[in-house]
Amino acid sequence: MLEVLSNPGRFFEEKIKEEIDFKPPYAVIGAVTLLTLINAFILMRELMENMFSDAPNIAQLIVITLGLIGTMASVTVAWLLISGLFYVISWPLAGQGKFARVLEYVAYGFLPFIFSSAISMVLLISMCLFSDFSMNDPLAIEKAMLKSPYMILSNAVSIIFVLWAANIWVFAMIHSRGLAVKNALITVGLPLIVYLIYLFYTLYQAISPF
């Protein structure tokens, strides 16, 4: 399975000969979900300690639990949404093939996010250990976190790994929908450009002195 990280074209070329198998995709999505949950817990715990330290413990627990439930669902929703977008966009570009195959292949594109989530976890822990967020103003705490060097580096790392995932998804669409390279680039590139604009805007806000 790790071959998809270095040679996605060959990986999917061999994979297309096999029956659809969701066990590896579930494992990938599960791993990304787990790491995302850990990152969310670290961040929310830090926020609770600084922004809502006076709130009852049960209230903090409820907020954290609801936040983690939403985070857990977000990875699966992202998987389904990205697969759906690629399937729909590829339709007028002579795309053929089952949605189940697209869903299977898109999951492999989440593999780079295992590494980026692990790096982000280290950066978040470092931010919590070496940064002081003991402020009374919630907006000031939020701004301080966004402009933290650790958070800026985490955002920059995310952009790199999104591009890595996009490379995998291009080959995934070539083989799952029978697309030409140009059409696969269009299929993946259209939603990717929108997301990259958001990521660069977030990064710009973080490094902006205002």
What are the sequence ranges of the domains in the chain?
3-207
Specify the pLDDT at position 5: 93
φ and ψ at residue 29, rounded to 5 degrees: -65, -40
Task: State yes or no: pLDDT of 35 exceeds 80.
Answer: yes
Specify the pLDDT at position 52: 58
Specify the pLDDT at position 53: 57
- Across the range 200-208, mean pLDDT stands at 84
By mean pLDDT, which of 95-109, 134-148, 170-184 is the weakest? Answer: 134-148
Close Cβ partners of 91 (under 8 Å, ≥ 6 residues apart): none
- The token pair at 124 is 């978040």
Closest CA to 1 of 107, 87, 120: 107
